[in-house]
Structure 1
Amino acid sequence: MSFFVKQNSIVRTIWGRHDTVLFIFGGASAEFALNKAVDWLYFTGRLPADPIGRLFSTVTYARKIVFSPEQVALQVIDRMRAIHGEVENKRNATIPDWAYRDVLFMLIHYSIASFELLERKLAEDEKEEVFRTFYRVGDRMGLKELPLNYNDWLNAREQHLNSNLQKSKYTKDLFKQYKKHLGPLRYQILVQAQILVIPERVRSLLNFKRSSWLKPFVPVYKITRKLKIDWYLISGLLPTQYREEIKALNVV
């Protein structure tokens, strides 16, 4: 059986651990809030009503693509495009291509940053493999002006960060909703986790501190991983309604 992502791919390793996926989710949630096209996510009202659930659904779609047979993965991508098309029809406008590219670029960046935080530095060919996986997703969705390799992506990513982000009323509201749905303690942990993986441009726009008080705990957490007791630590920090879903992310 042919899979969209090869079974020995570094991409499966990255997306096969719940803690790595949580950092991907956390970092993306910060950058999502700054995107100039975030109003599209407010159009249906679902994002502010359930920001954790909506962002988690994006992660779920990505994981389905990573771990599914090729034909199933292609169907998932086509369904994603169709869902966005339905929203466009309701609003009688078109989501700009750069907004779709931004989401792909986030998945690439946070996949690499989160893995390197919790595991090790990736080799250049492994970074290329991460890029290539999400390039294929974007290509299937019909996106234009996609960079053709990882090095080109680095330049495009920098341009997107400088051109497509802004702190707006949606930024403030979305972080307000994060705090409301997570509670004060979990919200503070989220922010500290975001600082560990977000680019400097995102940190600056959000006025976050340069250092996170979580950083000294990362080596300690890695030890709990080796002892296979990390889940007991993580589960206590998660909202109850998401614990089983997040635990199920662990497949490696």
Structure 2
Amino acid sequence: MKYFVDEHSIVRKIWGKADTILFIFAGAAAEFALNKAVDWLYFTGKLPADPLGRLFSTVAYSRQILFSEQEAALQSIDKINAIHKGVETARGAQIPDWAYRDVLFLLIDLSIRSYELLEQPLTTAEKTEVFNVFNRVGERMQLKGLPTNYPEYLKMRQEHLEQNLINSAFTIDLYKQYRKHLGPLRYQILKQAQLLTVPEQISRQLPLGKIAWLWPVLKVYKAVKNFKPGKFFRNALLPNQYKAQIIGMDEALVIN
């Protein structure tokens, strides 16, 4: 059986750990809030009504593709395309090509950053593999202007960070919604996770603070995370409505 991502790929190691996925989620929540095309996510009303659920669904869909058999993964990507086309039809406009690339680029970047933060540095070959996998997703989505290799991606990623981010009324509203849905404690932890994960261009524009007090806590957590005290601590901080879903991400996922 052929899978979309090889069973021994570093991408599966990254996306097969709930801890890593949570940091990818945190970083995505920050970058989505600043993206100039975030109005598209507000158009359907789903993002402001349930920002955590909307972002978790994006992460969950990505994970489903990465662990699926080849044809099933391609069908999932095609379904995403169809959903986007439906939104475009309803609004009478097209989602900009750069907005699609932004999402793809942030998934590559945050996959690498989150794994290195929680596990160990990746080699250039492993980073290239992460790029290649997500670039194949973009190619299936028929995105225009995709980079052809990892060095070109790094250059384009930097350009996107410099050109496509803005602190707007949507940014302010989204962070209000994050706080509302998470509560004060989890909201502060979210911002700390973002401070440790996101590129500097993002942290400069958001109210994340300057002191990364979560870092020493994270160092202790990394030492015990595979034992019961570590898992208990993490699970206790999870929102109840997503707890089972997140814990399940630690389990082997095979979709035929």
State TM-score, norm by structure 2. 0.96
Partner of 1:166: 166
Partner of 1:242: 242
1:132 aligns with 2:142: no
Distance 1:208 1:243 in 2: 24
Q: Note the 1:72-91 alignment, pairs <5 A.
A: 72-91=72-91
Q: How far off is 1:229 after superposition?
A: 3.7
Q: How far off is 1:211 after superposition?
A: 3.5
1:26 aligns with 2:26: yes
SS at match of 2:148: coil
SS at match of 1:206: coil
**Higher mean C-alpha displacement, 207-216 vs 65-74:** 207-216
The residue type equivalent to 1:139 in the other structure is: E
Q: Note the 1:170-209 alignment, pairs <5 A.
A: 170-209=170-209
Q: Note the 1:9-88 alignment, pairs <5 A.
A: 9-88=9-88
Distance 1:132 1:76 in 2: 18
Partner of 1:215: 215
**Higher mean C-alpha displacement, 203-212 vs 165-174:** 203-212
Q: Note the 1:99-118 alignment, pairs <5 A.
A: 99-118=99-118
**Higher mean C-alpha displacement, 210-219 vs 45-54:** 210-219
Distance 2:42 2:242 in 1: 22
Distance 2:73 2:239 in 1: 29
Q: 1:154 to 1:211 in 2, by over 3 A?
A: farther
Q: How far off is 1:207 after superposition?
A: 4.4
Post-superposition CA distance 1:72-122 (Å, at most 9, x none): 000000000100100000000000010000000110010000000000000
SS at match of 1:211: coil
Distance 2:9 2:188 in 1: 34
Post-superposition CA distance 1:147-186 (Å, at most 9, x none): 1111111100000000000000000000000000001111
SS at match of 1:205: coil
Post-superposition CA distance 1:193-248 (Å, at most 9, x none): 10000000001111433431101112211111243542211111011110000001
Please tell me whether the aligned partners of residues 147 and 156 of structure 2 are also in contact (alpha carbons under 8 angstroms).
Answer: yes
Distance 1:238 1:37 in 2: 29
Distance 2:240 2:198 in 1: 26
Distance 1:159 1:70 in 2: 32
Please tell me whether the aligned partners of residues 194 and 208 of structure 2 are also in contact (alpha carbons under 8 angstroms).
Answer: no
Partner of 2:232: 232
Partner of 2:95: 95
Please tell me whether the aligned partners of residues 108 and 130 of structure 2 are also in contact (alpha carbons under 8 angstroms).
Answer: yes
Partner of 2:7: 7
- Percent identity over the alignment is 58
The residue type equivalent to 1:3 in the other structure is: Y
Number of residues of Structure 1 aligned to a counterpart in Structure 2 = 252
The residue type equivalent to 2:76 in the other structure is: V
Distance 2:208 2:105 in 1: 21
Distance 2:217 2:226 in 1: 15
Distance 2:129 2:62 in 1: 15
Which blocks of at least 5 consecutive residues in structure 2 are unaligned?
Answer: none
